[in-house]
Amino acid sequence: MSKRIDVRNENIYYGDFLAVRDVNVTLDPCTVTALIGPSGCGKSTFLRTLNRMHEVIPNARVEGEVIVDGVNLYAPGVDAVQVRREIGMVFQRPNPFPTMSIADNVLAGVKLNNRRISKSDADDLVEESLRGANLWDEVKDRLAKPGSSLSGGQQQRLCIARAIAVKPSVLLMDEPCSALDPISTLAIEDLITTLKEQFTIVIVTHNMQQASRVSDFTGFFNLEATGKPGQLVEFDTTDVIFSNPSEQATEDYISGRFG
């Protein structure tokens, strides 16, 4: 079930370095939000705080709140492993387990979560997840082949299948198409549009056309100068960000006058 995310007064640190400053934003269920902005402004850093992946880096920490359907992920007693199950993540480079079969790759997250699952339930889940990731027809006759036998675009869809197999409520994607050809990119974009009926989706992208094609809302991150913290400068509907942004910095960035 898709969930609402409220980020309140969030500061994100690597040790003493304040990487991202004072983020306040609400992401609604069943929407796609694109995060854009120049390299180093903190998009990936921010994204990783939405499922507590940030703090796996030594000395990395978060101040403020990330409230998912009323629960602050950073409240004492919240289980970070459970959070990462609820809130799935897909990375820039497809990262299937290379020697594991296609089917086992889909089930990898489910098995990590220690869920016991019968053979027939597993088969059903593999099919459902691969269909969900729009990959089923291409791989249904070779489910026992290794994950590494797929093309890059197929591997990325396999990673999406693995992420949705655990039935998360939120899907975070960090430049999921940057290593893909245009056809595979369009396949992933179509998939995102379908998946948003079920998930709250946040996608980091450097591709402005992609942001305008797939997202309902867009957040523009920027930093004043090197070494200064990144900030969420503007957040609005994608239409407004691309046609009539409030901030000059946003206008400059999307029209290519920046960086």
Ligand X SMILES: Nc1ncnc2c1ncn2[C@@H]1O[C@H](COP(=O)(O)OP(=O)(O)OP(=O)(O)O)[C@@H](O)[C@H]1O
CB-nearer residue toward ligand X: 169 or 250:
250
CB of 171 to ligand X, least distance (A): 18
**Token reading at 35:** 């995060």
Q: Which residues bind ligand X (CB under 6 A)?
A: 14, 19, 39-45, 57, 230
Q: Closer to ligand X at the Cβ: 66 or 166?
A: 66
Structure tokens at 242: 């691309």
Q: Which does 118 bind (CB under 5 to 8 A by kind): Mg ion, ligand X, none?
A: none
CB 91 → Mg ion: shortest distance, Å? 10
Region binding Mg ion by CB under 5 A among candidate stretches 2-10, 40-48, 144-152, 178-186: 40-48
Residue 19 touches which of Mg ion, ligand X, none (Cβ within 5-8 Å per kind):
ligand X
Instruction: Measure the N-to-C terminal CA separation of the chain; round to a whole number of Å.
Output: 38
With CB under 5 to 8 Å by kind, the binding choice for 169 among ligand X, Mg ion, none is none
Element (H or E) spanning 64, and its range?
strand 60-68
Give the interface size with Mg ion as a residue count (CB under 5 A).
1
**Window of 15-23, 38-46, 224-232, 243-251 that interacts with Mg ion by CB under 5 A:** 38-46
Please calculate the CA angle 49-169-128 and round it to the nearest 5 degrees.
130
DSSP, residue by residue, 189-230: HHHHHHHTTTSEEEEE-S-HHHHHHH-SEEEEEEESSTTSPE
Nearer to Mg ion, 153 or 230 (CB): 230
- Measured from the CB of residue 190, what is the shortest distance to Mg ion in angstroms? 24
- Residue with Cβ nearer ligand X (107 or 253): 253
- Residue 129 has phi, psi (to 5 degrees) of -70, -40
Tell me the residue type at 198: Q
| Residue 46 C-beta: closest distance to ligand X, Å | 7
State the pairing for strand pair 170-174/87-90: parallel
For residue 98, the minimal CB distance to Mg ion (Å) is: 24
Nearer to Mg ion, 101 or 178 (CB): 178
200 close to 180: Cβ distance less than 8 angstroms: no
Task: Give min distance, CB of 66 to ligand X, in A.
Answer: 16
Does 205 bind Mg ion (CB under 5 A)? Our answer is no
Query: Nearer to Mg ion by C-beta: 107 or 202?
Result: 202
CB 175 to Mg ion: min, Å: 6
Which of 44, 105, 169, 184 binds Mg ion (CB under 5 A)? It is 44
- For residue 201, what are the CA distances in angstroms to 66, 121, 142, 221? 15, 27, 30, 17
Tokens representing residue 115 in the block: 């869920």
User: Alpha helices of 28-118 — where are they, by DSSP H?
Assistant: 43-49, 80-86, 102-112
